[in-house]
Chains A and B, each alone.
Chain A
Amino acid sequence: MDLSAISPTLLIAFLMVAATPILLAAIGELVVEKAGVLNLGVEGMMITGAICGFAVAVETGSPVLGFIAAAIGGAILSMIFGVLTQFFLTNQVATGLALTLFGLGLSSLLGQSYVGIKPPGTAKIDIPVLSDILVAGPILFNHDWMVYFTLALVVAIWWVLKFSRMGLIIRAVGENHDAAHALGYKVVRVRLMAIAFGGACAGLGGGYLSLIRVPQWTDGMTAGAGWIALAIVVFASWKPLRVLLGAYLFGGVTILQLNLQAAGLAIPVEYLSMSPYVITIVVLVIMSAPRKGRASLAAPACLGRAFHASS
């Protein structure tokens, strides 16, 4: 075993890239859940975004157009969920699960002719002087633009939810939709917009996988990332900056596992492979343990409840 072979700098830089897809999906889902909607279709929207983004990037040769298409693809798919749950008042859990299954099948169909093709590359932003700084350089100044965009998005969502009027409306709808309705806010319209935003973010996350991280299209390539994103939202107790922490923790464990193995750590590989999931369960148990004085999980009060103006 040679742990000195693992460079912490490169590890952190790698972790930021590995965590970006789940971070995007999780931050989108956080907004959706803040508005009181539980959309379990994250996996389906991610993979749809992955193929839409990939196909458009290959056809046009532009990764930027690809990412836009990924966001649009995810948003369109999420609208199926939105219409069903907001207008037809279907059960959100069942509809979300159906959306995941539908998304996996649809992406497989759309992707038939895109297997084994190389997408156009996305260059890293290499800031000449800054990226050469000893430790901070590779971590902070040597990524593709999507990594920076994602970080900016997390901060923006944190600010909007906490300080802006729009954030207040979203939270009001999520905490008590009857009160929000009584005050004259369009509950259904706010929720639909939140769902579309969540879909777009999940789509971007999928697009990041197929266009930058792998970069290739394969069936089922999200491999459960959407479910991890859902877990991160709970783990973060619906706080944007904690979502960032959660995503890096998850990305970190996965990456560390491979790095430890390559360094020859004598722990059976199976334990390392299961470690991200064990940590999730432990964290969720600790987080949800009852504490005195306040609601332990801080979930939006109307999460998962259907709203109709007549009720």
Chain B
Amino acid sequence: MLRRTLLATAAAASMALTGAAMADGHEKTKACFVYVGPIGDGGWTYQHHQGALAVQEEFGDKVEIAYQESVPEGADAERVLTQMALSGCNIIFTTSFGYMDATNAVAAKFPDIKFEHATGYKREHPNVSTYDARFYEGRAVVGHIAGRMTKTNKIGYIASFPIPEVIQGINSYFHHAKKANPDVELVVTWVYTWFDPAKEADAARAMIDQGVDVITAHTDSTAPLAEAAKEGGKVIGFGQASDMAGFMTNDDGTPGPRVASIIDNWNPYYIKRVKAVMDGTWEQGASWAGMPEGEVVIGEMTDVIPADVQAEVNEMIAAITAGTYHPFTGPINKQDGSAWLADGEVADDGTLAGMKFYIEGITGDIPQ
């Protein structure tokens, strides 16, 4: 009897405590972020963290930010997400494609918490949204630069995983390089990692040794640019995900390998979604914004790029931003020569989001 009373008292006390914590939680919204690499990677994760900091700055004391770095894609992600959900997060951003299944699995267990998954396509529960940026718009711009700048007519692409987002990038990059320079040839190297500087550097080196003189990376570190810098100006590359302005000039003052960059700017989206949670207006959605919304930005071009090329690039950026030019505008054929887009036809989002084929002129196969 006595024991039962004790238990009841304990239960009541703990309920009171939870109640207090919840009341407190409503005053302060907690936004949590899961990162695939370290925030100091200088690329992808760094930009997401900038977005998190922007949220903090926008709302000040009203929000609390929590994040975890270098979370592997796989079983570990589910554990981290569950832990975050239990620690009182109101909205959780999972910032890599490989968190897709983990995000949906954890979302099923915590229907009151909002989940936002970057670059994925699965929204199995009403509390899961997806968001992505039209990186292929940026790839189109750097592809044009690559086509105009290459002297060996061989351009390289360090690819991470064979997922639609990466294939869109490869196709867009090649399509615009080819338009600028019909003789251009594309070399794709798959490294099967988002972040492994040693491997990224090795891949860049292998391509440079084979005569590639413009390198684009779809991985997160600055290592490919560091490798290109060793060639003393003969090889150029682009900042990826972040500006990577540190590679604009070398230590000795000569122009560095980074001639432009594709910057992911997540700040507007993160601020908008956290605000929606605070106001109670959050709804499931699938955001896919690009240059017009300011989510994809081209970083400052260096003087290594001639003025006439810069003018062409600026024109292209203006056209994409205004919505008058879509990077995938026909005529474009698939790799096997069959027709994909007729003259003037524009690719629809559904095809792009599930893109699993190369366009005509790219050699090699997409790994299965």
Contact = CB atoms under 8 A, between A and B. Distances in A.
A269 B367 contact: yes
B244 to A, nearest CB: 10
Contacts of B226: 118, 214-216
Contact of B210 (A219, A259, A269, A270): A259
A118 B222 CA distance: 10
Contact of B206 (A116, A118, A219, A258): A258
A14 B367 CA distance: 26
Contacts of A270: 367
Contacts of B205: 14, 258
Interface in B174-192: 187, 189-190, 192
B207 interface: yes
Interface of A: 5-7, 10-11, 14, 18, 115-116, 118, 120-121, 209, 213-216, 218-219, 221, 223, 254-255, 258-259, 261-264, 266, 268-270, 273
B183 to A, nearest CB: 15
Given A115-B38, A121-B251, A262-B156, A216 B192 contact: no
Contacts of B312: none
B189 A216 contact: no
A273 B203 CA distance: 12
A263 B210 contact: yes
Nearest to A225: B198
B197 A221 contact: yes
A291 B198 CA distance: 40
A5 B208 CA distance: 11
Interface residues of B, number: 38
Interface of B: 38-42, 46, 70, 156, 187, 189-190, 192, 195-199, 201-203, 205-207, 209-212, 221-223, 226, 246, 251, 363-365, 367-368
Nearest to A259: B206
Which of B42, B198, B199 lies at the interface centre, i.e. has the most chain A CB atoms within 10 A of its CB?
B198
A6 B221 contact: no
B367 A11 contact: no
Given A223-B196, A266-B365, A269-B192, A218 B209 contact: no
Contacts of A10: 209
Contact of B202 (A5, A116, A255): A255
B206 A262 contact: yes
B187 A218 contact: no
19 contacts: A7-B209, A115-B38, A116-B38, A116-B41, A116-B46, A116-B222, A213-B201, A214-B197, A214-B226, A216-B222, A218-B38, A218-B197, A221-B197, A223-B196, A223-B199, A255-B206, A262-B203, A264-B187, A269-B192
Contacts of B246: 118
Contacts of A215: 226
Contacts of A213: 198, 201
Contact of A262 (B189, B196, B197, B223): B189
Contacts of B46: 116
Given A218-B41, A218-B221, A266-B364, 13 more contacts: A5-B211, A6-B209, A11-B209, A116-B222, A118-B251, A120-B251, A121-B251, A215-B226, A218-B38, A255-B202, A262-B206, A264-B364, A268-B368
A209 B196 CA distance: 12
B235 to A, nearest CB: 13
Contact of A259 (B39, B209, B221): B209
A269 B161 CA distance: 11
A254 B38 CA distance: 25
Nearest to A220: B70
Contacts of B210: 5-7, 259, 262-263
B112 to A, nearest CB: 34
A223 B200 CA distance: 13
For the complex of A and B, 10 pairs with smallest distance between CB atoms: A115-B40, A116-B40, A258-B206, A10-B209, A116-B42, A5-B210, A259-B206, A214-B197, A264-B364, A262-B206
B202 A18 contact: yes
B367 A254 contact: no
B41 A262 contact: no
B50 to A, nearest CB: 13
Contact of A216 (B39, B206, B223, B367): B223
Contacts of B206: 14, 255, 258-259, 261-262
A149 to B, nearest CB: 19
Nearest to B227: A214
B209 A216 contact: no
A5 B226 CA distance: 23
Contact of B198 (A118, A214, A262): A214
A255 B210 CA distance: 12
Contacts of B42: 116
A51 to B, nearest CB: 13
A258 B197 contact: no
B205 to A, nearest CB: 6
Nearest to A263: B210
B190 A216 contact: no
Contacts of B187: 262, 264
Contacts of A7: 209-210
Given A258-B203, A261-B190, A270-B367, A209 B209 contact: no
B157 to A, nearest CB: 10
A213 B196 CA distance: 13
A273 B367 CA distance: 13
